[in-house]
Amino acid sequence: MNLSQPAVSDQVGQLEREHDVLLFHRTGRQIALTESGAKLFVLTQQYFEIEARIAEALSASRAAVKGHLRLVVDAAHHINDVLSRFRGKYPKVTIDVAVGNSAFVMEELRAYRADIGVIGTSADQADFDAILLGASPIIAFAPFDLAQTLPRPLPLAELTRLPFVSREAGSKTRAMLEAETASRGLKLNPVVVAQGREAVRDIVAAGAGVGVISQAEFGADKRLQALPLADCDLQMRETLICLSRRRDVPAIRAFMAIARAQED
């Protein structure tokens, strides 16, 4: 910014005084955005993106896509093909990939902390553009020794009688399974709630109980045995999303276009 730190602090202080608002909580050398500061951050991100799009429209090098792209996904392997094609075509774009459940992905996109996301459901919210990446059935899994004692495929009623290792609140897999069991008058028996699918896998492998996952995400693990569910067809639909109002940001537009071409 070609500004010294004291100059930035003076400008922030002047902005707070003029509008009688606190933008930062200050504790010693640590600072954090207040609620008002967080709202202003989102608005200014929109402003800077519009400014960049104006510059792009007036620039002779409009076709060049560069900069930084932030992705938050429920599982990284869902975007491997699109990511590889994008990197091959736009090598000047650097990319960060973070992992979180579907609720976290949408929260990060709406707060402008991420540009593109992958969620384990259809995106029916009006503020998102969406591209379906594929669908996969939800299955149960158990430690190899325990799995040998269980019926295959595994009835849903049998699953509710077993100690269950659950994903965290906000997980679409958990929400779908809870809705299905409740509709049948059944109830899961969670003994552990773990943050993220990798934590669930490790805890199940250690013998704490059984878990569920989409078949596409199960992969190969000698510690675990996959158990298809006998009497329900729960499908995890993986969807690539971005905020509709940000669809024309060059890097976002390019990534979505590659995913859409692959879908076709």
Q: How many domains does the chain have?
A: 2
- Give the bridge partners for 166, in sequence order: 193
pLDDT attached to residue 63: 56
d(CA 164, CA 182): 15
Mean pLDDT of the chain: 90
Show the 3-state SS of the chain. CCCCHHHHHHHHHHHHHHHCCCCEEEECCEEEECHHHHHHHHHHHHHHHHHHHHHHHHCCCCCCCCEEEEEEECCHHHHHHHHHHHHHHCCCEEEEEEECCHHHHHHHHHCCCCCEEEECCCCCCCCEEEEEEEEEEEEEEEEHHHHCCCCCCECHHHHHHCCEEEECCCCHHHHHHHHHHHHCCCCCCEEEEECCHHHHHHHHHCCCCEEEEEHHHHCCCCCEEEECECCCCCEEEEEEEEEHHHCCCHHHHHHHHHHHHHHC
* pLDDT tens digit sequence for 78-118: 899 999 999 999 999 999 999 988 889 999 999 999 999 99
For residue 130, is it within any domain? no
Q: CA–CA distance from 247 to each of 94, 205, 260 (Å)? A: 18, 42, 13
Query: Per-residue pLDDT for 212 more than 90?
Result: yes
Is residue 210 in some structural domain? Answer: yes
- State mean pLDDT over 179-186: 96
Is residue 150's pLDDT more than 60? Answer: yes
Domain of residue 183 covers: 135-233
**Residue 56 belongs to some domain of the structure:** yes
Tell which of 63, 94, 114 closes a domain: 63
The whole-model pTM stands at 0.68
228 and 139 in a common domain: yes
- Kindly state the tokens that stand for 137: 């059935």
Domain with 155 in it: what CATH number?
3.40.190.10
Within-domain flag for 187: yes
Of the residues 17, 39, 63, the one at which a domain ends:
63
**Residue 107 placed within a domain:** no
Q: Is residue 91 part of a domain?
A: no
Residue 62 has pLDDT above 60, yes or no: no
Domain assignment of residue 126, yes or no: no
Distance CA 221, CA 227 (A): 13
pLDDT digits (tens, 9 = 90+) for 1-15: 788 888 888 898 898
Task: Output the domain CATH number for residue 51.
Answer: 1.10.10.10
Q: Which among 180, 183, 175 is positioned nearest to 119, based on CA atoms? A: 175
111 assigned to some structural domain: no
pLDDT attached to residue 61: 53
Question: Which of 15, 32, 63 is the endpoint of a domain?
Answer: 63
What value does the mean pLDDT take over residues 48-65? 71
How far, in Å, CA of 168 to CA of 37, rounded? 29
